[in-house]
Amino acid sequence: MFQSSKTNAIRALVAITFADGRTDKVSVRLTLTSKLNDALNSTDAFLDVVNGAGKQYFVAKSSIASVELIEVPKASQMNLQRRNGDREQFDPYQVLGIETGADQDTIRQAYHAKVKAYHPDRFSALDLPKEMKDYAAAMLVRINLAYEQIGS
């Protein structure tokens, strides 16, 4: 029943508000139609989600009060400010900083290096502004999504 597939699953970044008032930002695995509405209204009792730390788990749809679609965060080391022109298509190879068509070893090494650089635990003890911690968390979501799309 709970099968996870690494085969180019399409995911959407969402904020799920639960019936108890708790909110989680996660990526939700979409159905073949790639529509969030279809994933939420399918007959499946659970949603396949991945949190910002890359942990996959399943959420009972019956425990969800609301779901808000979040645009995939755009982040650049050169320019931390969001621009209107920065809404191009999500490129997993660019996120990992590798050439299109790179071999699995290169993909895995790039993924591990990026996760190590942006993992929130690395910044938790530092006295940094919330924006910088949010930036690292957004980058980690993008890194995990990129690896999920092209990694094995």
CATH number, position 107? 1.10.287.110
Rounded to 10 degrees, what is the CA torsion of 133, 116, 73, 15? -70
Are 15 and 64 in a shared domain?
yes
Each residue's pLDDT tens digit, 35-71: 888 888 888 899 998 887 778 899 999 999 999 887 6
Would 6 be classed as within a structural domain?
A: no
Are 96 and 63 in a shared domain?
no
Would 96 be classed as within a structural domain?
A: yes
Would 87 be classed as within a structural domain?
A: no
Q: How far apart are CA 13 and CA 72, in angstroms?
A: 6
Would 83 be classed as within a structural domain?
A: no
Provide the 10 A C-beta neighbour count for residue 136.
20
Question: 60 is written with which tokens?
Answer: 């009972």
Per-residue pLDDT of the chain (152 residues; tens, 9 = 90+): 444 444 446 778 888 999 999 988 888 887 777 688 888 888 889 999 888 777 889 999 999 999 988 765 455 444 444 443 444 567 888 889 999 888 999 999 999 999 998 887 887 777 878 788 888 888 888 898 888 888 76
How many domains is the chain built from?
Answer: 2
Would 123 be classed as within a structural domain?
A: yes
**Which residues, 6 or more positions from 12, have their beta carbon under 8 angstroms from its beta carbon?**
27, 28, 30, 36, 39, 69
Provide the CATH number for the domain around residue 45: 2.30.30.100
Would 84 be classed as within a structural domain?
A: no
Q: Do 28 and 49 form a contact (C-beta atoms < 8 A)?
A: yes
Q: Which domain holds residue 145?
A: 92-150
Q: Of 54, 69, 84, which residue sits at a domain end?
A: 69
Instruction: Give the burial class of 139: count Cβ atoms within 10 A of its Cβ; 0-12 exposed, 13-18 middle, 19 or more buried.
Output: buried
143 membership: H or E segment, kind and range: helix 130-150
Q: Which residue, 108, 80, 90, is CA-closest to 34?
A: 90
Are 53 and 102 in a shared domain?
no
